[in-house]
Amino acid sequence: MKNQTEIYIASDHAGFKLKSKILELYFIDKPNFIIKDLGAYSEESVDYPLFAQKLCKKVKKNNFGILICGSGIGVSIAANRFNHIRAAVCSTVYDAKMTRKHNDSNVICLSGRGFVKKNIFAMLDTYFNTAFEAGRHLRRIKKI
């Protein structure tokens, strides 16, 4: 199939349930995505930086990542230590839209606790369907 985009997804134990829902329900009818699950594979306690690192080593120019921990904040901090990663914690559709449009974000970070499936799926739809605006935003990204 042409124009397939690789999406890497990883979580810690606190994000495992949401990661499972995304894999089970969100990507089921999206043949234009190739999904790579990098763990965790259970709710057994693990250290989120290891999963953020694993994902960030895989994300390249034309693919994306989804990272999930309890709040989304820890994986975001860990991911942004990589020079080629622009990871953003998103809790609204507006956040997902603006991080793609203005920041050319390549990793979306989500909270695995207290999520509402409908909201998460709307955020992912927006994230993956929003193009980077470039222009003045590209100038700003180059300064990071």
Candidates 102, 97, 142; CA nearest to 122 is 97
> From the candidates 13, 84, 102, 137, which is the catalytic residue?
102
Alpha-carbon span 46 to 4, nearest angstrom: 31
- Residues in contact with 47: Cβ distance below 8 Å, sequence separation at least 6, in sequence order: 12
Name the DSSP letter for residue 85: -
CA–CA separation, 135 and 144 (whole Å): 15
Instruction: Answer yes or no: 102 catalytic.
Output: yes
Half-sphere exposure of residue 14: CA atoms within 13 angstroms, side-chain side: 19
What amino acid positions are annotated as catalytic residues?
A: 102
